[in-house]
Chains A and B, each alone.
Chain A
Amino acid sequence: MMENPLIRFLAAYGPMPDGNNMYDEFIVAAAEKAGLAALHIPENHSKRIIEDLSAETPISTILTGTAGDGKTYTARQVLDELSGGSRAWSNTESIVTISYKGRTIHFVKDMSELSDSEKATIIPNLIDACTAPAGTGDLYVICVNDGHLLKTWRDHAGGGPRAEKVLEIFQVLLKDDRETQKDYQFRLVNMSRRSHANTLDEIIDAICEHESWAACPSDCPGLDPAMLCPILVNRDEFRKKGQATLRDRLKSLIEIAAADDEHLSIRQIMILVVNALLGDSTSIYVTPLLDCNRARIRAQNDERAETNPFNNIFGENHPLSRRQGYAAFATLARFGIGYETNNHFDDGLLAPHDTDGLPDHPIYGNRIFARARDDYTENPVTGIDDLRKELVSQRRRLFFTTADVSISGDREKAPWLLTIHQHGDMFTNLLRPEDARDAGTHRRTRSRLIKGLNRALTGAFTETNDKFWLTQPSGVYRGVDVPLLVGQPIGWKGSPYHLALVAPDVPGRPPRFELVSGTNRLVSLAITPTLFEYLLRVADGALPTSFSSQCFQDIRNFQIRCVGAIERLMAEHDNEIEYVAVETGEEKLALRSIGVIEEAE
């Protein structure tokens, strides 16, 4: 049987029907069986944990987060490093204790695995470790899901004020995205609050540049360029780097989802990549993934549509019920890719000769689409169902492979129109730090956002986009009020306060609007992708309250807090705020002083 053992091995990293809690061990076992090195999951926490444990006043580490982010893997790395490779961690041991630099360190692989009596011992000891005076006591490296941490704490901490206090601190740290608390000897690392978009390259390379790709048997017909093994074709697709590639767009999707608080764990991302690589929708209930044999058959019969990675990445090679069980597919499905479209794209697909020409793909473009299109042209009534299905996969391909259109270009051709985040490229630009982003796009995006804000808050179709016109929320219950400007229109610099559009300081968080005074951040508004889309659509003419009332609420809330902050700021400096009426009749907002209070006293 001609096969590359790598393929079977990779399939172990794909979607598993039983959910699989013993993931780490399972992978290790699969790797051993295949005789290959386990895939190296990129992680960058172990270094700091080792530093923490080696410091003069060492502190414990609690690794938390949802399943699949590499907690156990990281703990193993640390153990390996500290014990000089001498201490292996077998699958049956839940707790491992070593001695290091005169201190005792306990490693717990997964707190949920411990028995109740074990927990009843460990947790009080952990409380001691966390609350001990600096530099004394045992140390811990514990892996636990955050939900389990909180729930189990109460049950096993044995009561007492220290236990309550530590629990409270956990809650605050988790909520505020912080890791340490003064005077407490631990670091709480939440591995799931960060986006793994940056490690996508490493994950894809770990899979696609694995040394065993060379192990394909040299006489396999799939290696012949005329035959085109689908696995190799898909691998090439993933190997492409640069703009308008599967890799690049996938990264953007992951970033956007993260900014909307949907974090894909490393495991989930691996599932996506492996599934896209090996997916086969010929027999979705039985064999969703290719093996070498089936790959050969597909190649021989030129059955390409079934191995289309642009479809597989959305889980099309699985039945709907199974698909919905995976966070990765569910998250990507929310983008609506394949179902959003416009005339430019659909016309281009249906009548390629008449139109400007969209990018084609040697395998997954016209080659698989032509038949459905021609059948439909001949007989629309019978051909429509198939066409619809094929259109979805073509739109998906186009999303991943069409070049971006600049903010001032013909946005009708922008690939992001094929998703619900029609300004997705502008959003991802906001995520980049100042030295890595396109400044022109950033400036123009900023102006559009201000226009959206101004429209939403004044209720007028204004064109004002250079400054934020913060109006008084009147607090009129069921009334129709006249907008009053609080102070002056707020620009991007100046005193005593100004507005800022700030990139996230941690990957996976959204960018923020901030009202800033000097170096003080007074108020901040998280610009999630949804809110971003809302503001841009309002800037383009949508009515503020009809599109999304939740987004409108967020903005209202921001307005209220800004006014409160300015009132307090001015009161602190004994200054009076000037209030001016806002004229909304013209294209741009105008100031009109309030006559009766303008007069000299």
Chain B
Amino acid sequence: MSLIDIAFYFFAILIIASAYIVVTSKNIMYSAFALLFTFFGVAGIYVLLNADFLAITQIVIYIGGILVLIIFGVMLTNRITGVDIKTGTMSKFQIWMTAILCVIAAIGLILIFTQTNWNTALSPTKASTIEDIGTLLLTDYLIGFEIASVLLLIAIIGAALIARRKTN
């Protein structure tokens, strides 16, 4: 077992264990904090796949942005931290639907896992992926890029509209 393998299993166990805590913890603050380790683990896996830029954006966006917002929400919401989160009862139909969806998702993941030509840390790589990502975004995937930017612009305008003080 090489060091790369050890690193992979470390991150994999970190992701699974922390994700388990996220789902099962009764304390919503613990869930939010466990999510931090899940995101870190995913970033670690990206590094092992030689996707340096993806790994760091994972940290900047998910840990630096989204999770901070979640924790803010939890901290500012009065008494939510002590709330006992109940897993409600589900009807037979709901249980079957969930099971079918899970099986489909699992098949999809296994297919992706076996069919993709993974770029592991041991394979020869370029010095940096950033330049290629930039070029691709502004040539081949320009439409998607533009749609995403318009979507973000709409979100910003919406947020500003909601936050604005109402004046008569």
- Do A and B assemble together? no
